[in-house]
Structure 1
Amino acid sequence: MAKYEGIWPVAPVSFNDDGSVDYDGMRRILDCMVDQGVDGICILANFSEQFLISDAEREELTRVSIEHVAGRVPVIVTISHYATPIAVERAQLAKDLGAAMVMMMPPYHGALLKGTAEQTFEQFARVGDVGIPIMIQDAPLSGVDLPVPLLVRMAREIEMVKLFKIECPRAAAKLRTLIAEGGDAIEGPFDGEEAITLLADLDAGATGSMTSAMIPDQIKPVLTHWKAGDRAAATAAYARILPAVNHENRQCGFLSAKAVMVEGGVIKSEFSRHPIPALHPATRAMLLDLVRPLDPVALRWGK
């Protein structure tokens, strides 16, 4: 049995219509996610709009989230930063507050400042010294290449590097190679990107998925059936959710979960800070048309 498995979605951040952080809404989001039977929750990730919040808000959101979840499920705190001392400081705060682990991308800033392989290794090693498990996020947003040999080296030489969220192009092929070459050092091979490649990634050996918070209760059966060895049931469960997942991944992005949660009475506003535009009304309407037949918890939780 894998040590890390199941569905660990990313919690969105709730804003009020005036752009301020809605901390009560954040607590409701977390409660809604726990009620969906998630296996863990990730906060402050890209789908949490971490690039739109201040450092002070980030610290308060970390504190509020971990305290409110109160051990009901493990909490992962995203700590990515180009500056290694800041990543270390964020990791220490997460550990001190009781986070189960941290997630981080390799060091990058904009399109041109990218850590080398050695600099990436050194940053993860420094964070590893904090003594909290680390999930490496291999995502296109960083623009940093993380070849399998580097990932395997980090897994073997940095004790706290235990999990891998692979959401690069051809994720299944990379997961398969990573697991084959890393062996027991790869304790938690996960996929991401809203589960758009979940079935192929499970076939490659993924044990978990980090989706959005839109419909994790409807995605979880895919993983449950697959783990039980029922590929036909897993495929059917995946086919059922795929139109909604595809629309989220290709048309809506991180605004999807908040749109569903507003419709379900979880939060009051789906506001996102400038320069992020609101969903086009037609795009939003189609999202809800695709989600409603699935009857997810988030669409009725607050009603």
Structure 2
Amino acid sequence: MAALDTRPTPEGGPVAGDAAQLVRGVSPVLEVPFHADGAVDVEGFGRVVDYVLGTGVSSVMFPGFASEYHKLSEAERAELTEVLLSRTRDRADVAAIVAVQDHATRLAAHRARAVVDAGADLINLLPPHYLSPSRRAIQEHVGAVLAAVAPTAVVLQYAPSETGTSLDAATLRELAAEHPNLRLVKAESSPPGRLIAELASGQPALPAVEGYAGVQLPDAIRRGAVGTQPGCSFTEIYVEIWRRFASGDHAGGDELHRRLLPYISYWMLDTELIIAAEKLISVRRGLFADPYCREPGHRLDAEEIRMVDRFLAEFDGMLPHLG
């Protein structure tokens, strides 16, 4: 088993002077609450940020798929980003990872530079995927964004199930060799473990965090993952899983993940499904008022709602009410 990097886990202190070192352990992707009429619940989002930072994590990411980024207007996205950065820009112990998903290279580079200037600690870059750009075009796009924000650290998100984009370890290492600010890869291939191991063992070694709700988290850790980026409505469970592995209690980490797996493996059958389930969890916990998801989305049926309530009953001792 690869050595588990525990430097910025909740129990350890952050590594000073390098924001990328804060992206270790659990790095949740923030959800966006809406009012029942579909308007953004800005105050509720502030509570989401405060809750997640209060769990002891050292980094958060926004906006991602779990944030319904594709359903936000530019003004909404800017306002919510400022809510996040107002809570992180003056703190050395936490890093705000702000995501860039623009398809046009010019727009992606401009957005990345703007959010760095506004106080983002790192960029999460989703490569272009509409109309199946060539691998060379993807590399050129990624390279241009990396150059635009250098030396700010960048996390490259590899989500082939959602985007159809195909990259390999050799391509990613080539980009990292040319652009040293490519510091991490978010591996959401299914399963992610082999890519994580290939990245960790190459030259230059490229750390990876695991996504996809942590479905493959124990295997990813054993293959060298330095962190995980799940959703945020039950962050405490992921923090405890990571704590157990980091402390050497692999059996305990496996056992807690085994209990979680029936829920996340079902919810991750569809991205819109897990967004809806996590929002209902947050409402049940008192974090915000309404589980509304902007259409098109997944509407939980009666059995899926009961599943959420079974989940909350099973993990009641780990998930305090937040209202």
Q: Settle same-fold status: TM greater than 0.5.
A: yes
The C-alpha deviation readout for 1:8-47, integer Å capped at 9, x for no partner, is 0111011111111110010011111112222211111011
Determine whether 1:230 maps to 2:249: yes
Aligned counterparts, 1:150-161, within 5 A? 150-161=171-182
Amino acid in the other structure paired with 2:27? W
CA distance in 2, matches of 1:222, 1:265: 23
Amino acid in the other structure paired with 1:260? I
Task: State the identity as a percent.
Answer: 24
CA distance in 2, matches of 1:204, 1:101: 24
Deviates more, 1:117-126 or 1:143-152: 117-126
CA distance in 1, matches of 2:146, 2:175: 10
The one of 8, 20, 30 equivalent to 1:11 is: 30
Note if contact 1:194-1:210 (Cα within 8 Å) is conserved in structure 2. Answer: yes
The one of 285, 307, 310 equivalent to 1:289 is: 310
CA distance in 2, matches of 1:95, 1:211: 23
Determine whether 1:174 maps to 2:189: no
Note if contact 2:62-2:97 (Cα within 8 Å) is conserved in structure 1. Answer: yes
* Aligned position for 2:141: 123
Quote the offset at 1:261 in angstroms: 0.9
Cα RMSD for the two superposed structures: 1.8
Give the structure-2-normalised TM-score: 0.87
Unaligned runs of 5+ in 2: 8-20
Quote the offset at 1:239 in angstroms: 1.9
CA distance in 2, matches of 1:296, 1:75: 29
Please state whether the residue corresponding to 1:114 is helix, strand or coil. Answer: coil
The one of 35, 38, 51 equivalent to 2:57 is: 38
Unaligned runs of 5+ in 1: none
Quote the offset at 1:256 in angstroms: 2.1
* Aligned position for 1:254: 275
The C-alpha deviation readout for 1:38-87, integer Å capped at 9, x for no partner, is 22111110110011111221112111221134536211111111101111
Deviates more, 1:249-258 or 1:211-220: 249-258
Amino acid in the other structure paired with 2:132? K
Aligned counterparts, 1:160-199, within 5 A? 160-184=181-205, 186=206, 188-199=207-218
Determine whether 1:134 maps to 2:154: yes
* Aligned position for 2:129: 108
Note if contact 1:214-1:256 (Cα within 8 Å) is conserved in structure 2. Answer: no
CA distance in 1, matches of 2:287, 2:249: 34
Number of aligned residue pairs = 297
Aligned counterparts, 1:78-93, within 5 A? 78-93=99-114
Determine whether 1:25 maps to 2:25: no
Quote the offset at 1:165 in angstroms: 0.6
Amino acid in the other structure paired with 1:77? V
Please state whether the residue corresponding to 1:254 is helix, strand or coil. Answer: helix
Quote the offset at 1:234 in angstroms: 1.8
Quote the offset at 1:98 in angstroms: 1.1
Quote the offset at 1:242 in angstroms: 2.1
